[in-house]
């Protein structure tokens, strides 16, 4: 699919109505489980309970009351649906777009086309916690993001494959020319596109724990297709508590006469 068609298809996805992540409701939260196990004489939980009494110099009822408060807070914080939003920035000025074109050097027509239409985007943003989301940065911020990431990786590059994904430890030769274009909410994770070398055009994720690069897709178009089809693998693994353990992503159907 040509770059304009790829981006147009993704923007249709971004216009969907009432997008949301669906989370299963647990039978017990972690502290509810601990209280249950304590009542049933679980040795490990009893040890933790006695340690809490000792370190806090508190009686058994005080520790139970504290654990009950934690359990109540956990239960109150459970959301069956995490409603999210997608928003797109206006187009950039031509000089900024020309700079991106030079930096990409033909490595990704899809990324250039996306920024030709929008100078950044905020995707899958939790409506109750707007710091959680996938954020495509404005063009004016890309160089600073690249420099900051470049400082974090050091040492000779070492490649390995885990769970079918290429992982790179250390600093690959192409990192200095990569375009760092997006990040995941509060986390230091970043998305970058290689513009030179063996993986030219591929999208990588910088993961901070441990510090390494993970190949997400052979192109931005492939990544956008993955996100449109099922965003949980990326956001559930790296995007924060709004998406962790989600069982589905869904949106309302477009009503007759809309979207056309």
Sequential DSSP letters for 196-233:
SSTTTT-EEEEEETTEEEEEEESSHHHHHHHHHH--HH
Q: What is the length of the chain?
A: 260
Dist CA 9 CA 260 (whole Å): 13
Residues 6+ apart with CB under 8 A from 187: 208, 238, 239, 240
Residue 226: predicted pLDDT: 96
Sheet of 203-208: strand order equals: 158-162, 165-169, 211-217, 203-208, 190-193, 179-184, 134-136, 121-126, 81-88, 17-22, 248-252
What is the value of pTM for the model shown? Answer: 0.83
Residue 260: predicted pLDDT: 45
Domain 3-24+80-252 fold is: SMI1/KNR4-like (3.40.1580)
List, by residue range, all CATH 3.40.1580.10 domains of the chain: 3-24+80-252
Residue 61: predicted pLDDT: 95
From first to last of its 260 residues, what are the pLDDT tens digits of the chain?
Answer: 699 999 999 999 999 999 999 999 989 999 999 999 999 999 999 999 999 999 999 999 999 999 999 999 989 888 899 999 999 999 999 999 999 999 999 999 999 999 999 999 999 999 998 889 999 999 999 999 999 998 888 889 999 999 889 999 999 999 999 999 999 988 889 999 999 999 999 999 999 888 999 999 999 999 999 999 999 999 999 888 889 889 999 999 865 455 54
Determine how many CB atoms are found less than 10 A away from the CB of residue 65: 12
Residue 78: predicted pLDDT: 84
- Residue 175 per-residue DSSP state: G
Angle of helix 30-39 versus helix 60-76 axis, rounded to 10: 140
Residue 151: predicted pLDDT: 87
Are the CB atoms for 135 and 122 separated by under 8 Å?
A: yes
């Amino acid at each position: 699919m040509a770059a304009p068609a790829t981006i147009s298809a993704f923007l249709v996805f971004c216009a969907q109505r009432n997008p949301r992540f669906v989370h299963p409701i647990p039978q017990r939260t972690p502290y509810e489980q601990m209280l249950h196990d304590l009542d049933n004489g679980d040795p490990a939980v009893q040890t933790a309970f006695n340690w809490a009494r000792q370190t806090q110099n508190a009686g058994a009822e005080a520790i139970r009351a504290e654990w009950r408060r934690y359990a109540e807070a956990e239960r109150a914080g459970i959301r069956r649906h995490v409603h999210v939003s997608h928003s797109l920035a206006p187009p950039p000025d031509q000089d900024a777009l020309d700079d991106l074109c030079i930096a990409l050097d033909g490595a990704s027509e899809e990324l250039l086309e996306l920024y030709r239409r929008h100078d950044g985007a905020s995707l899958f943003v939790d409506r109750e916690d707007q710091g959680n989301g996938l954020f495509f940065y404005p063009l004016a911020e890309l160089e600073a993001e690249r420099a900051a990431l470049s400082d974090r990786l050091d040492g000779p590059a070492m490649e390995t494959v885990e769970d079918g994904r290429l992982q790179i430890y250390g600093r690959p030769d192409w990192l200095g020319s990569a375009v760092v274009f997006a990040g995941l909410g509060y986390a230091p994770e970043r998305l970058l596109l290689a513009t030179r070398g063996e993986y030219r055009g591929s999208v990588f994720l910088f993961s901070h724990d441990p510090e390494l690069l993970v190949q997400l897709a052979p192109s931005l178009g492939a990544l956008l297709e993955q996100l449109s089809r099922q965003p949980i693998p990326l956001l559930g693994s790296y995007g924060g508590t709004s998406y962790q353990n989600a069982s589905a992503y869904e949106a309302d159907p477009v009503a007759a006469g809309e979207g056309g």
